[in-house]
Structure 1
Amino acid sequence: MGLLHLENLTNIMKFTEILFVILTLSLGTYAGGDIPLQVTGRVGETVTLTPRLNLTHPIDTVTWMYHINGKRTILAEFREQKFIRVNKNYFINRLEGSNSGTSLQIRELRMEDSGVFTAQINVNEEIRDISYNLTVYESLPLPTPVINKTLDENSTDLCHLHCSVPSNSTSVSYSWIYRDKDTDILYANGSTISVSLKDKTLGTQFICLVQNPAHTNNVSVLLYPCDETQTKANQRYYFALLIITILGILIFVVGTLYCFRRRIKKCIKTPKENVTYSDFKEFPKRIMNQGNAPMNGHCNMACNRKSEEAEYAHLSVNIEINVKV
């Protein structure tokens, strides 16, 4: 496992691509332009096809052609110091010439633009063909890192780090960079790696580097014990479940109290009983003895008491009858 700084790694990749282009260009020159130069572009961006020529005479004409189903289709021509688009069925409003027609710029690249382009250059009645093999790649989104705990019971401290991007291209490559303080170290190549927690401190930063020939993207992830990561996720789940349960209980209690109050109000609002009261008869006045013979006081009081009790009983019966009615 080699140790490389991330910047040095990127520079080496770029140097390798440049070296490949130079070697291809040299081979193409010596082979008469039979080997196309490899050019990469990214969807939505602009690419320029520019040959490296050492000319001692001015250019007479340049014809740009696009290979379709094994046949060359003329796209544009440069003659009399003018860039003229000949075919309006392909690359509509996306082609532009420069450098006396030897450079072709293609704007707003699409995946279907991939193919072989040939510049047929006429200099002093000598024709030279230079071809380019353009490959257009899609832009890579940010990769998604996932940390999974291993199922190996003998290595409970081992975690698997997986990185992926949604892409249909087979030219996507993955690398994992381990950041130690201020140094970036290449840990391993591939979308999935295994990391032992015994060898790494908590909070160690790993960087997933995903790239295709036209684009590079990366994302970082902090490494913690896998079971701790799962515990935090479970804690969030149980906390959310507790909140939902409490809200449900509160709603139930409030609804019950509301219904209970409505029932009480209904019971209070009952119609009053219609009570009919009968006229009270006036108690008879005590009869005073106006004769000459004196009356027995004890008898007089007893008779009056009996009369009053009879009247009271009569009134009570009348009231009960009226209330029942």
Structure 2
Amino acid sequence: MAQRYLWTLLLCLQTRLEAAGSDTATLPVTGILGASVTFPLGIKEPQQVINIAWNSETSVAFVTPGEPGTAPKVTVTHQNYNDRINVSRQNYNLEISKLRMEDSGIYRADINMQTSETTLTRRYNLQVYRRLGKPTITRSSMTSVNSTCNVTLTCSVEKEEKDVTYSWSPLGEEGSVIRIFQTPDSQELTYTCTAWNPVSNSSDSVPAWQLCADPAAGLHPRHTGLLSGLAVLFLLILIVPSVLLWLLCKRGQGAPCQGGGCEQDLCHTAVR
């Protein structure tokens, strides 16, 4: 009985020591692709630090104090982090610069202090996001009766991104797909889709009067104008050379034939 009690006491003591030395909560950290992110350690007595080991799926860095008044000594322990690691002289916070998408994941800092016999542990969950580009609104279906129509609109971003949410104004609805019952009374409205992720947001809009229009017209009038301009340019490319050739032939009519050929015949041949 005494032996069992002793083992229970030792187990409780070990559990308390582990709990004291480890911050079990994982702190979420958000970063932007290509930018920098900082992992806060919350060390109150940085002068008491012996060393800090940073790890993720691989080892990251090993930090020791520098000479008095100098920056800490940082040994990068994985080549993926070369030239991207910086450690604050004031509080030993770790900074990773030039963030990559593959930097996302769980990070752990094991801290040894002169004032503690146990290793303190801090955990972080880093998620790296791209800044969102402008979303696109497309009309996937439409039924029209007596100047009213039911329209399904879909909002999407160019690349498939994680943790993207969508909201619509002035409807106040959320989600990438909405259904709209469009009437003549609501022609002056403008529907706006906003795409969000934890680091950015971006919007696109479509006027209500376009929703019941001919599908061939598209949702954005600027596209139709661009196509019209291209068509005019194409016609000019075809017409202008023909007109110039016709004028040259008119000027050459009645000119004497030389070298066994006639310029008028040449013009007729070119026109064909």
* Smaller-chain TM-score bracket: 0.5 to 0.7
Deviation readout 1:162-217 (Å, 9 max, x if unpaired): 22212233322222122xxxxxx62x212222222228633423322112223322
What is the DSSP-based 3-state SS (H/G/I as helix, E as strand, rest coil) of the residue aligned with 1:210?
strand
Q: 1:31 to 1:171 in 2, by over 3 A?
A: farther
Q: 1:59 to 1:154 in 2, by over 3 A?
A: farther
Measured after TM superposition, the shift of residue 74 of structure 1 is 5.1
Q: 2:59 aligns with which of 73, 77, 84?
A: 73
Q: 2:192 aligns with which of 192, 195, 207?
A: 207
Distance in 1 (alpha carbons) for counterparts of 2:201 and 2:226: 34
Largest Rg, 1 or 2: 1
Question: What amino acid maps onto 1:61 in structure 2?
Answer: I
Question: What amino acid maps onto 1:150 in structure 2?
Answer: S
Q: Counterpart of 1:16?
A: none
TM-score, normalised with respect to structure 1:
0.58
| Residue 115 (1) aligns with residue 100 (2) | no
Q: How does 1:152-231 map to 2 (within 5 A)?
A: 152-154=143-145, 156-178=148-170, 186=172, 188-198=173-183, 201-226=186-211, 227=213, 230-231=216-217
What is the DSSP-based 3-state SS (H/G/I as helix, E as strand, rest coil) of the residue aligned with 2:24?
coil
Question: What amino acid maps onto 1:222 in structure 2?
Answer: P
Q: Is the 8 A contact 1:78 1:100 kept in 2?
A: no
| Residue 33 (1) aligns with residue 23 (2) | yes
Deviation readout 1:55-102 (Å, 9 max, x if unpaired): 57953224131222xxx6250313256421222524112211126444
Q: Is the 8 A contact 1:76 1:83 kept in 2?
A: no
Q: Counterpart of 1:320?
A: none
TM-score, normalised with respect to structure 2:
0.68
Q: Is the 8 A contact 2:142 2:152 kept in 1?
A: no
Q: How does 1:1-325 map to 2 (within 5 A)?
A: 32-52=22-42, 55=44, 59-68=48-57, 73=59, 75-80=61-66, 82-87=71-76, 89-98=79-88, 100-123=90-113, 124-126=115-117, 127-146=119-138, 148=139, 150-154=141-145, 156-178=148-170, 186=172, 188-198=173-183, 201-226=186-211, 227=213, 230-231=216-217, 241=231, 244-245=234-235, 248-249=238-239, 251-266=241-256
Distance in 1 (alpha carbons) for counterparts of 2:64 and 2:90: 7
Q: Is the 8 A contact 1:206 1:223 kept in 2?
A: yes
Q: 1:199 to 1:264 in 2, by over 3 A?
A: closer
Aligned identity (percent) is 23
* Runs of 5+ unmatched residues, structure 2: 1-18, 259-272
Aligned length: 228
Over aligned residues, Cα RMSD in angstroms?
A: 3.5
* Runs of 5+ unmatched residues, structure 1: 1-28, 179-184, 269-325
Question: What amino acid maps onto 1:83 in structure 2?
Answer: P
